[in-house]
Amino acid sequence: MSFKIVSSLSIYMASYIHTVYLCSIMSENRLSKLPYSVLDLAGVRAGFDIADTFKNSVALAQHAERLGYNRYWLAEHHNMISVASSATSVLIGHVAGHTNSIRVGSGGIMLPNHTPLIVAEQFGTLATLYPNRIDLGLGRAPGTDQLTAFEIRGERFHSPQHFPQDVLKLQQYLGDDNYDSKVRAIPGEGTNVPIWILGSSTESAHLAASYGLPYAFASHFAPTHFLEAISIYRNNFRPSAVLKEPYVLSCVNVVAADTDEEAERLSTSLKTLFLGIVTNQRRLLQPPVERMNWSDIEEAAVEQMLDFAFIAGPEKLKSQLNSFVSHTKIDELMVTSHIYDQQARLKSYEILADVLQR
């Protein structure tokens, strides 16, 4: 009897270990096949100017292209001293002009800040200059505070209510069937620039699903509703002419270094940046510090925003990303890295690419 129990237990443990091993292999296989991309907020560093920021963006885009990154997106923000990507389409053109193959786009254009026709003309121009390389991610938030949003929108201040209709207008202007319309986007018409819906809550998940468009979630600063939002999107997805199955891109923070300890040190620049958001005392991106100076409440608030931040050396990073990808089953990983030193920033993206490829 004792022998049978031991034998049964041994068989069970062998089966369990085999299952864990297979799951690990499947997870690693999934990770190695996962497209990976960059979100650049064109961060302005303390002690440097905006011209330096733009030079660093070009250098990072070229570096990412060499490392096999899929996309390089820039985000529209206004009235923020630490973010220099307010003229997003201009900066997209600048980056695309200094690279050769990587897709370049918006993560995103805040559509209520613009009329659909103007966006269609801008991105139609980009798509004509750089064929098959331009993406158009769209958000409904202002990308700024309410006062600045009013300065941008004026009488169109309540335009977010028109976001679903404006997305359709934009598709029409960029499509092939608008040639006999009284209003046409030239350039733009017929370019069919790929459109993405961006989200930081559950609201846009419904829209992306109903329109059959790819969905990119801002889990790098709004992780709370990420899992719920992608579940809504997948469960309600309707195939469209541009996408037959749901496609989820998740943007996360990554700070990678040769060691876990060095990654933690570098990440204090990111944490200081988020602390400024929490306390409404925004500053330029600061150099790393040996120890964060914050209250327990402030630390908890920042750590909540960093639920999907991966701060580690190569081995720990691979383990963390394996778990994240296995759990969420995302189709693409987008990474933003608020690292003060440009060489350390480039190194972080290099380590990540190596982790994902091997």
Determine the average pLDDT of the residues in 87-97: 98
In whole angstroms, give the CA distance from residue 191 to residue 187: 8
In this prediction, residue 149 has a pLDDT band, given cuts at 50, 70 and 90, of confident
pLDDT of residue 269: 98
Cβ neighbours, 10 Å, residue 176: 9
Q: Which of 1-5, 114-118, 163-167 comes out lowest in average pLDDT? A: 1-5
Q: What is the pLDDT of residue 147?
A: 83
State the burial class of residue 25 (Cβ atoms within 10 Å of its Cβ: 0-12, 13-18, 19+).
exposed
Express each pLDDT in 202-242 by its tens digit.
Answer: 999 999 999 999 999 999 999 999 999 999 999 999 999 99
- pLDDT above 60: residue 324: yes
Across 189-195, average pLDDT: 98
Mean pLDDT (whole number) for 286-296:
96
- What are the CA-CA distances from residue 148 to residues 77, 132, 151, 154, 221 (Å)? 10, 34, 5, 10, 21
Quote the pTM value: 0.89
Mean local confidence (pLDDT), 275-279: 94
Helices 268-279 and 296-305: angle between axes, nearest 10 degrees? 110
- pLDDT at position 10 is 40
pLDDT of residue 16: 32
pLDDT computed for residue 6 by the predictor: 37
> What pLDDT is recorded for position 17?
33
What pLDDT is stored for residue 66 in this prediction? 98
The confidence band for 159, taking pLDDT boundaries of 50, 70 and 90, is low
Nearest to 125 by CA among 136, 113, 110: 136
Q: In this model, does residue 14 exceed pLDDT 50?
A: no
- What's the CA gap between 143 and 134, in Å, rounded? 21
Please give the helix or strand (H or E) that residue 110 lies within, else none: strand 103-110
pLDDT band at 179 (very low <50, low <70, confident <90, very high): very high
Q: pLDDT confidence of 142, banded at 50, 70, 90?
A: confident
Structure confidence at residue 157 as a pLDDT band (50, 70, 90): low
Find out whether the peptide bond into 212 is cis, omega within 30 degrees of 0: no
pLDDT tens-digit map of 239-267:
999 999 999 999 999 999 999 999 999 99
